[in-house]
Amino acid sequence: MKTLLITGFEPFGGDAVNPSGLVAQALDGQVIDDVRVVATQLPCVFAEALPSLRAALDRHAPTWVLALGLAGSRSAISVERVAVNLIDARIPDNAGAQPVDEPVLAGGAAAYFTGLPAKAIVADLRQAGHAAELSHSAGSFVCNQVFYGLMQALAARPGVVGGFIHLPPMPEQAARHPQTQTMPLAEQLAAMRRVVGLLVAGTPELRTVGGRVD
């Protein structure tokens, strides 16, 4: 049986919960469309997140990797298109480190594109009634670091499809993110189940306009 690895993060930055870790945990061990889903929770620590991701890749040898994180300022599920080789932390990570203007990987490519069919995912989620959008920046904190490290690792694993999606906060986090539209955990979970289905079905990318002028 083939394996899909789903990763989420522990809480960070003063939030008591992180929907990405909860969604990953909820899907752990499930079999969806004949594919075994395994989950790993990544520490929100620059020095530990990528070693933990790489260990999970080695341990599970997945065919698909769906990496998830929380974006407190995003009101919609954000399918990330680009990972950049840059760390510029606005807040300290969970170990107190706050690197500024450092590469994720010294000498590495400036950026990687996602391997996910990003536009097809956004279109499917919207059709199912979920708030979803394309994003051209995963930020410069631990999520972007993991996204970059994932795409760099997958460049050496041909045939493995992966990428990163940022999730909005949940209603119980509303007080910490007053400007953001929240999304209940059950809805986030339903949406990520759809994404798993799309990936294992080999859904191709859509050729629709998704660009922005901003």
Hey, which residues are catalytic here?
Answer: 80, 143, 166
* DSSP β-ladder status, 64-70 and 161-167: parallel
* Among the listed residues 7, 9, 81, 170, the single contact to ligand PCA using CB under 6 A: 9
C-beta of 23: minimal distance to ligand PCA in Å?
11
Q: Among residues 75, 72, 64, which one has the least CA distance to residue 117?
A: 64
| Per-residue CA distances from 66 to 6, 103, 117, 143 (Å) | 5, 23, 12, 12
C-beta of 145: minimal distance to ligand PCA in Å?
8
DSSP state of 8: E
Q: Among residues 17, 35, 12, which one has the least CA distance to residue 91?
A: 12
Q: Which stretch binds ligand PCA (CB under 6 A): 59-67, 129-137, 138-146, 177-185?
A: 138-146
* Sign of the torsion angle spanned by Cα atoms 191, 118, 31, 149: negative
Q: Is residue 147 near ligand PCA by the rule CB under 6 A?
A: no
Spatial distance between the Cα atoms of 174 and 106, rounded to a whole number of angstroms: 38
- Contact residues for 109 (Cβ-Cβ < 8 A; gap 6+): 85, 152
C-beta of 96: minimal distance to ligand PCA in Å?
15
Q: Is residue 18 near ligand PCA by the rule CB under 6 A?
A: yes
Q: Is residue 141 near ligand PCA by the rule CB under 6 A?
A: yes
Window 44 to 73, contacts with ligand PCA (CB under 6 A): 44, 69-71
Spatial distance between the Cα atoms of 34 and 28, rounded to a whole number of angstroms: 14
C-beta of 143: minimal distance to ligand PCA in Å?
3
Q: Is 110 helix (H, G, I), strand (E, B) or coil?
A: coil
- Nearer to ligand PCA by Cβ, of 130 and 166: the residue is 166
* Among the listed residues 115, 117, 139, 163, the single contact to ligand PCA using CB under 6 A: 139
- Nearer to ligand PCA by Cβ, of 44 and 83: the residue is 44
C-beta of 204: minimal distance to ligand PCA in Å?
28
Contact residues toward ligand PCA (CB under 6 A) are 9, 12, 18, 20, 44, 69-71, 139, 141-143
